[in-house]
């Protein structure tokens, strides 16, 4: 009998120790395209997340508990994102999700995360419908209805020599949504839309569509898609003798666009939700730390937005996590904290600016910026359009 009592005592001590160890570690998932045709985005997302994780843990963690990030690869595909979301949601050690990046992936994960009661905070999805219909989905950047309107207005008000425009869009949630917003505003301001062509993700030959567009002789070509295809479109367009001004959106905002397009990228314009050129001291310090960790490689927009997204979840955990509460209650506390950030006074101050949310989980009043390619590098455009009517 005494032996059984000793065994039970040992088991109890081990179980208690295990619970204490679990409480010393707070796990958050980061879901992004670490492979596939958007992997360059994923690499920056990983690095931005890891930098914030490192800073938090070196400063003592979250109320003495270690932050551990769990990286999940959705490959930029909605089907894979659904599997990733199921895996994350069913892991009762994971308290929140930073991700996804692609709009189609965030949309695929949304009902799964809602059903499981776990937050997804996207640092990259801009499709209008991403946050709609779920109390558990947030994002810390603008929507495509704003971005599309912004691009049309920038062409009309800043690049005033460009009167006719062709649209070349990726036939997915991001590409179509952005295309629709751009076309609506372009028609409103009086730009002449002379062509409207779609392409499928992972395409590599765009000569047929470019030939059709060239025949319409547009002053500008707006590419609504990601850097991989955009780089090939610009390169093949110049090879075909197209002299129109190319204009992309934030999906083109990757150094890999420059590598793929080569010299043909010169002069291309694109929008972005953040630029270090217009940032404050905190952002410049973050960029310096990032470069020091990665042999001089500079962070991009997505590294900065992910850095802030991890920071927002960590801040929520610091203020709400209760080691005595259930997983469901701790997950809900994170959601409730983010939802409470609904005014500038309550907002999260990060390197990408002030983030606070409307009732849908969309961020409020974050601006867009314009970059151009000069001497093979992205630089802030000389003229910005920081306010829309």
Q: Are residues 292 and 156 in the same domain?
A: no
Distance CA 334, CA 135 (A): 12
pLDDT score recorded for residue 201: 87
pLDDT in the model for residue 12: 42
Tell me: do 155 and 68 sit in the same domain. no
Shared domain check, 171 and 51 = no
Q: What percent of the chain has pLDDT over 90?
A: 89
The values of phi and psi at residue 218, to 5°, are -75, 155
Q: Are 204 and 228 in contact (CB under 8 A)?
A: no
What is the C-alpha to C-alpha distance for residues 134 and 112, in angstroms, rounded to an integer? Answer: 10
Instruction: Identify whether residues 110 and 7 lie together within a single domain.
Output: yes
- The yes-or-no verdict on residue 17 having pLDDT over 80 is no
Mean pLDDT of 364-373: 93
| In a shared domain, residues 7 and 128 | yes
Q: Which CATH number is 226's domain given?
A: 3.40.50.2300
Q: In the predicted model, is pLDDT for residue 4 greater than 70? A: no
pLDDT tens by residue, 52-62: 999 999 999 99
3-state helix, strand, coil in the chain (%, to 5): 50, 20, 35
Name the maximum alpha-carbon separation found in the chain.
Answer: 93
123 and 11, same domain (yes or no): yes
Looking at the fold, whether 374 and 344 belong to one and the same domain comes out as no
Does one domain contain both 182 and 200? yes
CB neighbours of residue 329 within 10 Å: 12
* Same domain (yes/no): 210, 161: yes
Q: Which residue in 337, 275, 344, 274 sits closest to 121, CA to CA?
A: 337
- Convert the pLDDT of each residue in 189-202 to its tens digit: 999 999 999 999 88
**Does 10 have pLDDT greater than 70?**
no
pLDDT at 227 over 50: yes
Is residue 1 pLDDT above 70, yes or no? no
Say how many domains are in the chain: 2
Whose tokens are 């992936």? That residue is 105
Reference 142, options 157, 158, 125, 166; nearest CA is: 125
Q: Looking at the predicted structure, is the pLDDT value of residue 287 above 50?
A: yes
Residue-level pLDDT at 389:
63
Helix (H) or strand (E) holding 334: helix 327-340
Rounded to two decimals, the pTM is 0.89
The separation between CA 380 and the C-alpha centre of its own chain, rounded to angstroms, equals 20
- Which pLDDT belongs to residue 202? 86
Instruction: Check whether 173 has a pLDDT greater than 80.
Output: yes
Ranges assigned E (strand) in 10-116: 25-32, 66-73, 94-98
The average pLDDT across 110-134 equals: 97
Closest CA to 118 of 360, 356, 328: 328
In a domain, 71, yes or no: yes
Mean pLDDT (whole number) for 86-98: 98
| Rounded distance between C-alpha atoms, residue 200 and residue 181, angstroms | 19
Kind and range of the H or E element at 245?
A: strand 245-248
- E strand residue ranges, 258-357: 269-272, 348-350, 353-355
In a domain, 362, yes or no: no
Residue 128 contacts by C-beta under 8 Å, 6 or more apart in sequence?
143, 144, 145, 177, 181
**Which range marks the domain in which residue 82 is found?**
2-142+280-355
For residues 243 and 375, state if they share a domain: yes
Do the domain assignments include residue 388?
no
Residue with tokens 């076309």, as numbered in its chain: 183
303 in Cβ contact with 47 (< 8 Å): yes
CA separation, residue 269 to residues 84, 103, 223, 257, 280 (Å): 34, 22, 10, 12, 23
pLDDT of residue 5: 37
């Amino acid at each position: 009998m005494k032996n059984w009592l000793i065994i039970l005592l040992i088991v109890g001590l081990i179980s208690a120790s295990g619970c204490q160890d679990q409480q010393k570690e707070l796990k958050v998932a980061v879901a992004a395209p670490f492979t596939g045709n958007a992997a360059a985005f994923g690499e920056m997302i990983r690095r931005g997340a890891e930098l914030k994780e490192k800073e938090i843990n070196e400063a003592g963690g979250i109320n003495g508990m270690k932050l551990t990030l769990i990286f999940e690869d959705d490959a930029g595909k909605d089907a894979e994102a659904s599997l990733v979301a199921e895996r994350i949601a069913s892991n009762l050690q994971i308290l929140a999700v930073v991700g996804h990046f692609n709009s189609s992936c965030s949309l695929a994960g949304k009902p799964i995360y809602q059903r499981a009661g776990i937050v997804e905070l996207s640092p990259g999805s801009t499709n209008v419908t991403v946050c709609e219909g779920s109390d558990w989905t947030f994002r810390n950047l603008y929507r495509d209805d704003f971005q599309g309107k912004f691009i049309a207005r920038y062409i009309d008000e800043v690049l005033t020599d460009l009167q006719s425009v062709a649209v070349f869009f990726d036939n997915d949630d991001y590409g179509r949504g952005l295309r629709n917003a751009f076309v609506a505003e372009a028609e409103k301001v009086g730009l002449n839309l002379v062509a409207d062509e779609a392409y499928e993700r992972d395409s590599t030959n765009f000569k047929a569509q470019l030939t059709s567009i060239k025949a319409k002789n547009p002053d500008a070509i707006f590419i609504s898609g990601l850097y991989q295809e955009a780089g090939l479109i610009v390169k093949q367009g110049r090879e075909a003798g197209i002299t129109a001004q190319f204009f992309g959106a934030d999906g083109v905002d990757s150094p890999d666009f420059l590598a793929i397009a080569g010299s043909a990228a010169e002069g291309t314009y694109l929008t972005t939700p953040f630029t270090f050129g217009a940032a404050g001291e905190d952002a410049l310090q973050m960029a310096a730390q990032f470069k020091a960790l990665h042999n001089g490689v500079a962070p991009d927009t997505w590294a900065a937005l992910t850095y802030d997204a991890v920071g927002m979840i960590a801040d929520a955990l610091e203020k709400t996590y209760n080691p005595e509460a259930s997983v469901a209650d701790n997950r809900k506390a994170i959601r409730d904290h983010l939802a409470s950030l609904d005014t500038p006074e309550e907002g999260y101050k990060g390197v990408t600016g002030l983030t606070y949310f409307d009732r849908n989980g969309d961020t409020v009043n974050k601006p867009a910026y314009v970059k151009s390619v000069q001497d093979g590098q992205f630089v802030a455009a000389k003229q910005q359009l920081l306010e829309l009517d």
